[in-house]
Chains A and B, each alone.
Chain A
Amino acid sequence: KAGVTQTPRYLIKTRGQQVTLSCSPISGHRSVSWYQQTPGQGLQFLFEYFSETQRNKGNFPGRFSGRQFSNSRSEMNVSTLELGDSALYLCASSGVRANTEAFFGQGTRLTVV
């Protein structure tokens, strides 16, 4: 069974640009959550999608958005990038609820210059 796949693995963007990250969950999993990981703030919850609906949202500005498609694949978008958005963005998938047996992908390392 394939794991959670995130693409791309690495990204370098310039301040003010926007970026889209992709996540393909484990086959059969319908919940996809996104987390931001930084040395200073640790792992912070961004949002969770289930059956194409955002089910929960963390405390991030509106520049951070996401969506989920009918095949459960999810994308995360960050607009008007800031230097502080540099982080490892992780996607986790689970069967029904995001908080039970969540499996993470390897992440996308975003660097904003």
Chain B
Amino acid sequence: QQQVKQSPQSLIVQKGGISIINCAYENTAFDYFPWYQQFPGKGPALLIAIRPDVSEKKEGRFTISFNKSAKQFSLHIMDSQPGDSATYFCAASYSTGTASKLTFGTGTRLQVTL
């Protein structure tokens, strides 16, 4: 049972454009939503994260938008650069009790072209 659905599977964006990746979750107990960036041969690196008490969080060129009622959140990469070409994973978890694990989306392979 896939609890976090991520789309699109792949994305090609021109340099300077906006990359948008979407995720939807099912479990309303989720209360922590991070995004990870992974380059080939490397482990995932934490990019930015949000909790459901805010609707948007921005760090540099990266913004998370969160819609609690729709159970959706998205990553926006402004002014996309070739160096942003990587695979991006959304994830979700809940922080109460001992159920401490990240549930990941299936990943989006982003290619930023010149």
Contacts and interface: CB of A to CB of B under 8 A. Distances in A.
Interface of A: 4, 6, 31, 33, 35, 42-43, 45, 48, 50, 55-56, 58, 90, 92, 97-107
B100 A43 contact: no
Contact of B44 (A45, A90, A99): A90
Given A48-B101, A55-B98, A98-B101, A4 B43 contact: yes
Interface of B: 32, 34, 36, 41-46, 49, 89, 93-95, 98-107
Contacts of A42: 89, 104-107
B44 A97 contact: no
Given A42-B106, A42-B107, A99 B101 contact: yes
Given A42-B104, A56-B101, A99 B94 contact: yes
The 6 tightest CB contacts between A and B, nearest first, are: A99-B93, A104-B43, A98-B100, A43-B104, A45-B101, A97-B100
Contacts of B46: 101-104
A102 B106 CA distance: 18
A101 B43 contact: no
A35 B38 CA distance: 14
Contacts of A98: 93, 100-102
A56 B98 contact: yes
